[in-house]
Amino acid sequence: MAPNSKKDVTDIEFVGTEESKLEKLVGPQAGPWKQIQIQKSFIHVVYGNLVVFGYFHLAALYGLYLGSTAGPAWSTIIFHCVTFVFALFGLTAGSHLWSYNAVKAKLLLQIILIIASYLTFQYSVLNNVRDHRLHHRYTDTDADPHNATRGIFFSHLGWLLVKKHPEVKRRGKFTDLRDVKANPVLMFPHKPFKQCFGREQVLDRL
């Protein structure tokens, strides 16, 4: 897997003509998380995501309880560690690097990375790339999907539990995703997952 030297995150193409008509955003921008909650036009909880992520965290706590009382089998511990590292590898080496258009991989490696990234149960590669490119282009502004100005909870988990800010929706339409859409391997799981979880679920909150 060799890096693609033709492009990096600094020169990802956007639909410049229309985007140039939008006002310039300068960070840090957006109020603290508590203030944002009051602005109901901006914050709408996606209850499907809340249930899913809530279940995951409660299940993890229950697993820790069982592990501290009954003691898990070594096979369970090994399986958990391998799955955890494999999933993180898929998200970091796969979806994260695809966001920079920096991955050139053979078919088999692409399939392995996609399977690993979907084990994190976040969203499709297409949505991951779109959000990450927006994050770098509009860091700490209203167009940043996980704007750190809104607090540590929002930037790590809260942004997955609410609908996107209007600026994220508006400017996300101009993000150049042609490289991802042109790759049938990356696009193959996108539609089935989106249909399975729905428009406002984990995979796509636009």
Q: Are 177 and 129 in contact (CB under 8 A)?
A: yes
Could you report the per-residue pLDDT of 137-148, keeping only the tens digit for each? Answer: 888 888 899 888
Q: Please compute the mean of the pLDDT values over residues 76-94 and round it to a whole number.
A: 88
Average pLDDT over residues 112-141: 87
Instruction: Specify the pLDDT at position 108.
Output: 92
Question: Residue 55: what pLDDT?
Answer: 93
Alpha carbon distance 169, 192 (integer Å): 22
pLDDT in tens, 26-76: 667 665 445 455 455 556 888 888 898 899 889 989 988 887 788 777 888
Residue with tokens 């590292």: 85
